[in-house]
């Protein structure tokens, strides 16, 4: 039996983690190395290793809640992996097709669009003001983008 809350948890976590982790890595590696190869390798690493890691983390977190049955736990686990893997790999497209400067911009816009869309639908579903949640999540996303850019620049200067 499919438990909607299990799918929603995996989707929400996988999408958010996929965007934030991949954007942070992409921007940090680009700022630190300027290497398309390093950025692509980083994205693929996130898509596989970090998606598996996050799926295991969600699996263990769901197991810790005695209310969840085995099927619901595995639904969350698999959804988290698939969504994070898919979202992370979407960032490969601009890196392959565009200059690195333009790929960073397009990736940031794409990532923010995904976060805004997810946040908007969750807030509406919960009958909350979506713009308060959107503002909060966009601000956090921008902090990640700016921070990883400066960390990458700092590493490049060493």
Q: Angle, to 10 degrees, between the axis of helix 4-33 and the axis of helix 100-125?
A: 160
Total domains in the fold of the chain: 1
Tell me: the pLDDT tens digits for 13-58?
A: 999 999 999 999 999 999 999 999 999 999 999 999 999 999 999 9
Instruction: Tell me if 138 sits within 8 A of 17, measured CB to CB.
Output: no
Owning domain of residue 106: 4-157
pLDDT at 65: 78
pLDDT, tens digit (0-9, with 9 covering 90-100), for 63-84: 887 777 888 889 989 999 999 9
């Amino acid at each position: 039996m499919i438990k909607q809350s299990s799918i929603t948890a995996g989707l929400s976590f996988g999408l958010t983690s996929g965007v934030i982790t991949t954007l942070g890595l992409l921007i940090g590696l680009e700022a630190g190395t300027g290497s398309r190869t390093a950025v692509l390798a980083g994205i693929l690493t996130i898509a596989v290793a970090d998606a598996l890691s996050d799926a295991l983390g969600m699996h263990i977190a769901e197991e810790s809640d005695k209310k969840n049955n085995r099927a619901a736990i595995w639904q969350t686990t698999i959804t988290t992996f698939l969504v994070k893997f898919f979202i992370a790999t979407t960032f490969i497209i601009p890196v392959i097709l565009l200059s690195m400067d333009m790929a960073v911009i397009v990736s940031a816009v794409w990532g923010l669009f995904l976060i805004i869309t997810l946040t908007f639908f969750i807030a509406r579903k919960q009958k909350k003001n979506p713009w308060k949640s959107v503002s909060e999540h966009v601000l956090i996303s921008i902090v990640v983008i700016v921070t990883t850019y400066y960390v990458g620049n700092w590493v490049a200067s060493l």
